[in-house]
Structure 1
Amino acid sequence: MLHDLIDIGANLGHESFDHDLDAVIDRARAHGVAQMVLTGASRAGSPRALEIARQGPGVLFATAGVHPHHASEYTAEADAELRELHRQPEVVAVGECGLDYHRDFSPRPAQRRAFSLQLEIAADTGKPLFLHQRDAHEDFLAILAEFEGRLGPRVVHCFTGERHELEAYLERGWHIGITGWLCDERRGAHLREIVTGIPADRLMIETDAPYLMPRTLRPKPSHRRNEPMFLGHICAELARDRGEDPVQTAAATTATARAFFGLPQPPA
């Protein structure tokens, strides 16, 4: 079993974890996950992520942001709420924020506005960015380019794109988060071919739990809820595709995540 893993994206504030959250965290720790960054992705979800993070000092951390699906809720009050959250030491990144033209749950102008306002928060706080992009590559690059020289490190979370998108992000010095999408033979097979091009100091791993259960788990779980305990499986699959020892991949992704988010060594 792999040890000292960091899950950089787990939605533990999701309602599916309400009844057994402590057990989920315990299982993750028992399966080698030393630290987790909990995703804040809405006005309600971001304070919930912080609330949970405060229950695990040195182990649990949070992001605070508004996902493009929720961009319509990004009011002046929402902006003030986010800025207050970013004054808290457990909140280590701005986001999840970005653009999603795949589903368009919020109008595209609202998405672009919410994204830009959150980039202002990142510029003001100096915190790293936890980014989302789906089917919006050109607009995504264009908006980020407007903040050139004002932003800190960036990770494109749950990368599912094509080679040209990956190359564009790497050329700009950004980081890449890989999830169990890699393990989906229907949608993620192309990732297995291109993850070899990600430098070790730019690569991180995440479950995006409760979403994206790895389809290569054996035996298959009796449920569809993903958990951070499966991060080691994602790491092993990624290592195989990169031609690395899983221990090497684990150590590199952990070192990269600690440096990116400024995380301390976990408590013993």
Structure 2
Amino acid sequence: MAEPTDTFDDFLPEALRFCAAAPLVDIGANLTHESFTRDLAAVLGRARAARVTTLILTGTDREHAEQAVAMARQYTEAGLALYATAGVHPHDASRWDAGLATAMADLHRQPEVVAVGECGLDFNRNFSSPAEQERAFEAQLGLAASCGKPLFIHERDAGQRMREMLHAWRDDIGDAVVHCFTAERDTLFGYLDLDLHIGLTGWLCDERRGHHLRELVGEIPLDRLMVETDCPYLLPRNLPAKLKGRRHEPALLPWIVREIAHWRGIGEEALANATSDTARAFFRLPANPQSIHQEN
């Protein structure tokens, strides 16, 4: 990959060029989003400069999962490892059919795919009906049980039903993470009781709606906690400088880690090391990040 070394820092002002205290894993980066088409190489260069060394690219439907796999195969520079997830987001659950199930099963066999998802329930917007969402999620729980890969879960305003469905499958599936967790204390402890992992984003940095999360970060065991940008969404609102546009990117993950560490009352390096160790174990990432590509 040719990196535009003379320009890759241009997008971020000096005050936003954070460098993590230890290498980070961004477990949720939507880099197949059209907003990254023009400058993807620069985005990856900034991530590496910020010590965000591993990116899990979120596959929310067949098209984007296939793009994420292709991207993971293409970008194999030293110091940066890309992997993919493959699933159908609850917004698109109405599209679930036998053909899509077969395509997802095929994707889950690819070595670049390290999790089943993004899948789950979203009763906030209901772009697909609750019944359609449950049907697609149930099917993807079955795929996770079959392939043995962990689950990357989306849940919004559906905590009780999500816990019910996961409880019924808990003995059949392996590890699972509720990514971009934003819910309340009872839902958090319900997920922890099910031995789930929790992904935190820049939602914590939002003065309008993230206050309750600041009180909860200390309740999440470090071996269950992972960090993510969910970029290009959820740009932290408390960044110390203005950013052109509203596009979030992996290079800003160290700011989220700084916020979590502050509210948890531990050092940034300790949090970075813990969340990265947890993520590597969860996604079963090889000790040599490039080895997954050498198998192909």
Work out whether 1:216 is the aligned partner of 2:238: yes
TM-score for the superposition, normalised by structure 2: 0.88
Q: Which residue of 1 aligns with 2:176?
A: 154
Rounded Cα–Cα distance in structure 2 between residues aligned with 1:180 and 1:148: 29
Deviation at 1:223, TM superposition (A): 1.4
SS of match in other structure, 2:62: coil
**Residue identity opposite 1:11 in structure 2:** N
Out of 262, 280, 285, the position equivalent to 1:240 is 262
Q: Which residue of 1 aligns with 2:71?
A: 52
Q: Which residue of 2 aligns with 1:5?
A: 24
RMSD: 1.0
Out of 16, 19, 24, the position equivalent to 2:43 is 24
**Residue identity opposite 1:153 in structure 2:** D
Deviation at 1:179, TM superposition (A): 0.3
Give CA-to-partner distance per residue, 1:128-184, whole Å, 9 cap, x none: 000011001111111112213100001000000000011111111110000000000
Out of 167, 184, 187, the position equivalent to 1:145 is 167
Deviation at 1:55, TM superposition (A): 1.6
Work out whether 1:67 is the aligned partner of 2:89: yes
**8 A contact 1:5–1:250 mirrored in 2:** yes
Rounded Cα–Cα distance in structure 2 between residues aligned with 1:207 and 1:40: 15
Deviation at 1:44, TM superposition (A): 1.3
Q: Which residue of 2 aligns with 1:114?
A: 136
Q: Which residue of 2 aligns with 1:37?
A: 56
Out of 203, 219, 223, the position equivalent to 1:201 is 223
**8 A contact 1:98–1:111 mirrored in 2:** yes
Rounded Cα–Cα distance in structure 1 between residues aligned with 2:207 and 2:154: 22
**8 A contact 2:117–2:153 mirrored in 1:** yes
Rounded Cα–Cα distance in structure 2 between residues aligned with 1:247 and 1:146: 38
Q: Which residue of 1 aligns with 2:34?
A: 15
Fraction of identical pairs, as percent: 54
Rounded Cα–Cα distance in structure 1 between residues aligned with 2:196 and 2:161: 17
Q: Which residue of 1 aligns with 2:147?
A: 125
Q: Which residue of 2 aligns with 1:170?
A: 192
Rounded Cα–Cα distance in structure 1 between residues aligned with 2:132 and 2:37: 31
Deviation at 1:186, TM superposition (A): 0.5
TM-score for the superposition, normalised by structure 1: 0.97
Out of 68, 90, 98, the position equivalent to 1:76 is 98
**8 A contact 1:43–1:73 mirrored in 2:** no
**8 A contact 1:98–1:131 mirrored in 2:** yes
Q: If you compute each CA radius of gyration, which structure gives the higher value, 1 or 2?
A: 2
Rounded Cα–Cα distance in structure 1 between residues aligned with 2:108 and 2:244: 38
Rounded Cα–Cα distance in structure 2 between residues aligned with 1:129 and 1:56: 24
Give CA-to-partner distance per residue, 1:187-236, whole Å, 9 cap, x none: 11110001110001000000000000011111121210000000000001
Range that drifts further, 45-54 or 113-122: 45-54
Rounded Cα–Cα distance in structure 2 between residues aligned with 1:24 and 1:55: 15
Q: Which residue of 1 aligns with 2:115?
A: 93
Unaligned runs of 5+ in 1: none
Give CA-to-partner distance per residue, 1:9-42, whole Å, 9 cap, x none: 0000001111111111111111110100000001
